[in-house]
């Protein structure tokens, strides 16, 4: 650490709050736009179908620039890069609000995306480097809650802002949060850096191309009828990943060293994140869609049905350390994944004549177990990384999570469309949703087998005594 802006105690108290602010901004912004697109399209005199570019441009920018976050933090210092990312994100938000046409909005979203791609990974890296292993779980636990609350509050806040204010406010809301983050970051964010940094430009370009192609294919899967060109893009993305593997194997100083995957807990954490988020990430999209399309309810109503997930996530936060201390990571993650998959299956039980309130207790319990899942997966992934691996490992975890969420959303939409076009739903769109929840739930239960690769003692050094 090159300098200490304040006492260690003050840093440790404030740093989780700083990261929570960044995660909340990014997660809220990623989801708040969805309910506002028709209103923005009308104002900008565009078709609502063309407005997907405003979402895709942001996601693609995240995928391209996230791999560089670890190198930039090592080269220029975590505090400088973090503050720069907040400034960029806030400026991008202001430009979004001032946009006069779709082109302006897309360019502004790219500026936002560059800021967002650095903001969360660099904030998380500072957290990992500041806290001892036995303190990290508690700190990460606090910071991760906005990742659960943001996707739930986003559609709700977006719906109300569009109805009672104007769509411009969904971007302007970021500015005061960004200013708060900048002030706190300048005062309390430590400026960790490394003198021994060498940027792997070729590796970055290859991996960025892979992330870009995979993200494009995921975004397009849910929006077009002919899947052949999309499958081609997806396969090309995986070929670039293989090309990166060959590049990293040659040695040198690759942006993501292959020795990361020799760390078993990291390997299981990465794979577990990818597998279990297939189901978890699709629910916040599928349930509001079903409420609006099948039950013919408003966006605000669907937002309120999903909202309890955010409240119970907070209770999950307060329980996860005790649960991990008692049962360990292996048993907790295997059982927890089974519970989450079963709860997703339960969403398939109510028929079209059932009350909407049937979903509330299921969603509330799901929020609690999601909180445990995310905290456990994130901390076990970094449990055994060495100091020289934390920057690249943390960047790769962030990229993996972004792609996993995209895979989950795309997978949910693909399964829904497949059932929609079969005879077993008898022309009832509601039945297509029910079969989709069953499919996604069962696959989530199966994905829990990934965590069998963990040992009973794994993560013991992460546990914090209350």
Q: What is the pLDDT of residues 230-284, one digit of tens each?
A: 788 888 988 998 888 888 888 677 878 888 888 888 888 889 988 888 888 888 7
Residue 399: what pLDDT? 79
pLDDT, tens digit, 9 for 90 and up, residues 34-52: 666 667 777 777 765 566 6
Model confidence at 2: pLDDT above 60: no
At residue 337 the predicted structure's pLDDT band, cuts being 50, 70 and 90, is very high
Checking if the pLDDT of 386 tops 90, the result is no
Query: So what's the pLDDT on residue 462?
Result: 61
Which one is predicted more confidently, 217 or 113? Answer: 113
Overall residue count recorded for the chain in this entry: 466
* Most confident of the following: 123-127, 232-236, 336-340, 453-457: 336-340
The pLDDT, as a whole number, for residue 353 is 76
Map out the domains of the chain as residue ranges: 1-197, 200-254, 258-466
The confidence band for 339, taking pLDDT boundaries of 50, 70 and 90, is very high
- 116/108 Cα distance (integer angstroms): 12
Residues 6+ apart with CB under 8 A from 448: 276, 333, 334, 335, 336, 337, 338, 341
pLDDT tier for residue 1 given thresholds of 50, 70 and 90 = very low
pLDDT tens by residue, 296-322: 777 677 777 877 877 787 777 778 888
The model's pLDDT over 168-191, given as tens digits with 9 standing for 90+, comes to: 887 888 888 888 888 888 887 878
Q: Contact at 8 Å (CB) between 106 and 53?
A: yes
Which pLDDT tens digit goes with each residue over 116-135?
A: 888 888 888 888 777 777 77
Q: Which segments of 49-115 are extended strands (E)?
A: none
Mean pLDDT of 387-410: 77
Give the model's pLDDT for residue 442: 93
pLDDT band at 455 (very low <50, low <70, confident <90, very high): confident
Three-state DSSP class for residue 447: helix
- pLDDT for the residue numbered 282: 82
Query: What is the per-residue pLDDT across 79-112, written as a single tens digit (0 to 9) for each?
Result: 889 899 999 999 998 998 888 887 888 888 889 9
Q: Mean pLDDT across the stretch 438-453? A: 91
Per-residue pLDDT band at 465 (split at 50, 70, 90): very low
Tokens standing for 254?
């690759």
Confidence of residue 431 (pLDDT cuts 50, 70, 90): confident
The CATH number assigned to the domain with range 1-197 reads 1.20.1250.20
pLDDT given at position 5: 44
| 133-138 contact pairs (CB < 8 A, 24+) | 133/383, 133/461, 133/462, 134/461, 134/462, 134/463, 134/464, 134/465, 135/12, 135/464, 136/379, 136/382, 136/462, 137/320, 137/321, 137/324, 137/375, 137/379, 137/462, 137/463, 137/464, 138/321, 138/464
Distance linking the first and last C-alpha atoms of the chain: 28
Nearest CA to 106 out of 43, 62, 58, 158 is that of 58
The token pair that represents 164 in the structure block: 């009672």
pLDDT of residue 3: 45
Whether 258-466 and 1-197 are alike in CATH topology: the answer is yes
- Give the residue-averaged pLDDT of 378-386: 80
Residue-level pLDDT at 416: 83
Domain 258-466 has CATH 1.20.1250.20: yes
d(CA 71, CA 122): 10
The whole-angstrom separation of Cα 16 and Cα 184 is 11
Mean pLDDT calculated for residue range 282-294: 80
**Cα–Cα–Cα angle for 194, 392, 18, rounded to 5 degrees:** 75
Buried-state track 214-247, b at ≥16 Cβ within 10 A, e below 16: bbbbbbbbbeeeeeeebeebbebbeebbeebeeb
Average pLDDT over the chain, rounded to an integer:
79
Give the confidence band of 342 by pLDDT, cuts at 50, 70, 90: very high
More confident residue, 8 or 21: 21
3 state SS of 377 = helix
What is the structure's pLDDT at 31?
67
């Amino acid at each position: 650490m090159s300098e200490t802006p304040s006492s260690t105690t003050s840093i440790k108290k404030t740093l989780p709050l700083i990261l929570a602010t960044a995660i909340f901004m990014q997660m809220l912004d990623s989801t708040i736009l969805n309910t506002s697109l028709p209103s923005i399209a009308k104002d900008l005199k565009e078709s609502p179908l063309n407005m997907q570019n405003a979402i895709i441009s942001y996601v693609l920018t995240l995928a391209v620039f996230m791999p560089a976050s670890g190198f930039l933090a090592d080269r220029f210092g975590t505090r400088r890069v973090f503050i720069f990312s907040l400034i960029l994100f806030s400026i991008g938000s202001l430009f979004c609000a001032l946009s006069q046409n779709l082109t302006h909005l897309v360019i502004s979203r790219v500026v936002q995306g560059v800021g967002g791609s650095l903001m969360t990974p660099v904030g998380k890296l500072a957290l990992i480097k500041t806290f001892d292993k036995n303190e990290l779980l508690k700190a990460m636990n606090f910071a991760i809650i906005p990742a659960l609350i943001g996707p739930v509050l986003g559609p709700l806040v977006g719906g109300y802002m569009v109805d009672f204010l104007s769509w411009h406010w969904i971007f302007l809301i970021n500015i005061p949060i960004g200013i708060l983050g900048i002030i706190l970051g300048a005062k309390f964010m430590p400026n960790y850096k490394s003198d021994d940094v060498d940027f792997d430009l070729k590796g970055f370009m290859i991996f960025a191309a892979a992330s870009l192609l995979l993200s494009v294919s995921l975004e397009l899967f849910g929006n077009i009828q002919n899947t052949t060109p999309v499958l081609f893009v997806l396969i090309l993305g995986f070929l670039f990943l293989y090309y990166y593997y060959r590049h990293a194997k040659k040695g040198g100083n690759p942006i993501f060293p292959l020795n990361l995957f020799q760390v078993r807990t990291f390997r299981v954490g990465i794979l577990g994140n990818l597998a279990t988020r297939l189901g978890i990430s699709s629910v916040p999209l599928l349930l509001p869609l079903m409420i609006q399309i099948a039950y013919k309810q408003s966006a605000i109503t669907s937002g309120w049905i999903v909202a309890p997930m955010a409240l119970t996530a907070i209770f999950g936060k307060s329980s996860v350390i005790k649960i991990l201390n008692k049962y360990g990571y292996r048993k907790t993650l295997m059982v927890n994944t089974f519970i989450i998959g079963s709860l997703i299956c339960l969403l398939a039980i109510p028929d079209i004549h059932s009350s909407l309130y049937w979903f509330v207790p299921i969603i509330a319990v799901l929020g609690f177990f999601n909180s445990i899942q995310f905290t456990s997966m994130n901390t076990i992934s970094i449990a055994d990384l060495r100091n020289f691996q934390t920057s690249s490992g943390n960047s790769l975890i962030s990229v993996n999570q972004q792609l996993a969420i995209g895979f989950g959303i795309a997978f949910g939409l693909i399964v829904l469309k497949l059932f929609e076009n079969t005879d077993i739903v008898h022309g009832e769109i509601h039945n297509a949703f029910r079969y989709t929840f069953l499919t996604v739930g069962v696959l989530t239960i199966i994905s829990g087998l990934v965590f069998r690769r963990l040992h009973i003692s794994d993560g013991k050094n992460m546990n914090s005594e209350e």
